[in-house]
Amino acid sequence: MPKIEKHGWYIVRPEIKEMWQQRYPNIKMADYKIRGIYFAEKANEESLISEDHKLSFFFLYGSCEKRIQACSKKSDKYYSGMQCDWNDPFVMSLDLLNEPSFWNEWVRLSNIFESNSCAHPKRPSIDRIDSNIGYALSNLRPLTLSENTRTATAKPNYIINLSKMEVTKFPQKQKAEEHIGKYLISDNGRPFMFGEDMCVLQSEKALSGEKRIKEKVASKRSRKTTILNLETSLNGFPALLKIPISFDQVTVEIPDLKDKNNKN
């Protein structure tokens, strides 16, 4: 008698797993995917979804489980501490299933993904509409992985030229990198040279003061030295003070930046 596979509390009979493998050969079977099969079959048995929608629900369960796990992991630098209104991926999947606009689009994207031989960029994923808010029912929408990545990186970044005291806005980090001609890390406070000018890259949140850049002590070799120019007056005459300074990091804040952008 063939052995029944157990993954946590979830049991998938071998004939069910074999049927999925034969029907969807492009899907590699991992533990969380076995759980996805279990809950897709369960939803179908309870008449919550049709036979044709089992694959879509399978993808949805997997995405829900990954998002819940990421938000609960302290080691995940991006998602740690982020609000998530669920701790059960099956319940989260059912809530999204009951949102017609979400579910219909999710099914459409799942069908496209399957017709493209499950090409990774085409996989449906859960995107937050407002990146300042966590995973709440009213803040979620389906996007392909490629669209989700593009949305996540399409946030304004600023190159602050410390030598000329100029700020240049770019619609996203990639555009700033294209301008400079090399890969850059935003919001780490580490200055870089652009020609003869010393610059630093910051996100809009960091530049407006909403986000604090973590302080890190650099080695002596990576410390930067520059001349800080301060305009003043001496005995009534305009004067320029040139002050040499050394530093590990630098942060620039423009508190009125958000108001200015809203007006524009």
- pLDDT of 64 higher than 70: yes
104: helix, coil or strand?
A: helix
Measure the CA–CA gap between 58 and 43, rounded to whole angstroms.
10
Residues 117-154 pLDDT 10s:
777 788 899 999 887 688 999 999 999 988 887 776 67
> Which pair of structure tokens corresponds to residue 112?
């496209």
Residues 173-226 pLDDT 10s:
878 888 998 877 788 888 888 998 889 999 888 899 888 877 766 555 566 777
The 3-state secondary structure of 193-230 reads: EECCEEEEEEEHHHHHCCCCCCCCCCCHHHCEEEEEEE
The 3-state secondary structure of 151-176 reads: HHHCCCEEEEECCCCEEEEECCHHHH
> Which pair of structure tokens corresponds to residue 41?
């079959």
162: helix, coil or strand?
A: coil
Measure the CA–CA gap between 108 and 17, rounded to whole angstroms.
24
Contact, 248 vs 222, CB < 8 A? yes
pLDDT value of residue 262: 52
Higher pLDDT, 114 or 184: 114
Distances (CA, A) of 127 to 30, 141, 230: 23, 5, 46
Q: DSSP character for 129?
A: S
Task: Give the rounded percent of residues in the chain with a pLDDT score beyond 70.
Answer: 84
- pLDDT of 107 higher than 50: yes
Closest to 187 in 3D by CA, of 215, 161, 167: 215
pLDDT value of residue 3: 39
pLDDT value of residue 230: 75
Measure the CA–CA gap between 257 and 263, rounded to whole angstroms.
10
Amino acid identity at 260:
K
Measure the CA–CA gap between 111 and 109, rounded to whole angstroms.
5
Mean pLDDT of 23-39: 79
pLDDT value of residue 172: 82
Which residue in the block uniquely carries the two structure tokens 């990421």? 70
pLDDT value of residue 218: 58
- pLDDT of 6 higher than 70: no
The reported pTM is: 0.60
Of 70-74, 203-207, 219-223, 260-264, least confident by mean pLDDT is: 260-264
> Which pair of structure tokens corresponds to residue 66?
């990954």
Contact, 162 vs 193, CB < 8 A? no
Task: Give the rounded percent of residues in the chain with a pLDDT score beyond 90.
Answer: 36
- pLDDT of 114 higher than 90: no
pLDDT band, residue 49 (cuts 50/70/90): very high
pLDDT value of residue 259: 58
